Amino acid sequence: MALRECCRLFAGVVPRLNSAVLPVACVLPRRSLVCSSLVRTLSSCSIVFLRKLSSAPLSTDVDYKQMKKLLAAGRSVVIDVREPWELREYGFIPSSINVPLGQVNTALQLVPEEFKEKFGDEMPQQTDNIVFTCLAGIRSKKALDTATSLGYNDVQHYVGGWTDWVKQEGKG
């Protein structure tokens, strides 16, 4: 009976995939585990469906070969989120901009002139492809999450980071 009630409530709501899916969960009886399970399933399905319709890349992870292609094409902004002393001591990927992880949130909210003055390069636009990198892919993932929360849609991170870059470049 509860399943029939849920199906009746969702009829007409699910095909639209709008925000009406979430409020329905609030009016469903708490004792109906089937209904709440269905709500969670439908909500996650709609998120997956909408993600597939978005222009954001399907994978946020970039490997060495993809990074080389992105750099060669010149269509991506590479932001290294390590501390400046790390870049001086270990090196950096050519044409990358250094914005330490602790400054990513504020840096991506600056006006373009302030960004250029502080970081020495053009500020990426929210529509630009941005690839974050660090030493081993941990800080770059945090930077990706920060940029996504600020409305940047086409963001990725170099999983292997500087460690992988040096290893791969040595092979070439």
pLDDT on residue 20: 38
pLDDT tens for each residue of the chain, 172 residues long = 444 454 444 444 444 343 333 343 334 444 444 444 444 444 333 333 344 444 544 589 999 999 999 999 998 999 999 999 999 999 999 999 999 999 999 999 999 999 999 999 999 999 999 999 999 999 999 999 999 999 999 999 999 999 999 999 986 4
Structure tokens at 144: 């990706």
State the pLDDT at residue 59: 80
Q: What is the pLDDT of residue 143?
A: 97
Q: Pseudo-torsion of CA 144, 148, 151, 152, nearest 10°?
A: 40
What's the pLDDT score for residue 128? 95
Rounded-to-integer distance, Cα 26 and Cα 63, Å: 42
**Contact 39/25 with Cβ under 8 angstroms?**
yes
- Give Cα separations from 133 to 33, 60, 109, 157 (angstroms): 43, 12, 19, 6
Q: For the CA atoms of 10, 16, 18, 20, what is the dihedral angle to 10 degrees? A: -30
Q: Which residues are catalytic?
A: 134
pLDDT at 75: 87
DSSP reduced 3-state for 77: strand
Q: Which domains does the chain have, with CATH numbers?
A: 2-53 (no CATH), 61-171 (3.40.250.10)
Burial class (CB in 10 A: 0-12, 13-18, 19+), 81: buried
The overall longest dimension of the chain from CA atoms, in Å, is 67
Residues 153-168: tens digit of each pLDDT:
999 999 999 999 999 9
What's the rounded Cα separation, in Å, for the pair 8 and 98? 54
Measure the N-to-C terminal CA separation of the chain; round to a whole number of Å: 65
Q: What is the pTM of this model?
A: 0.67
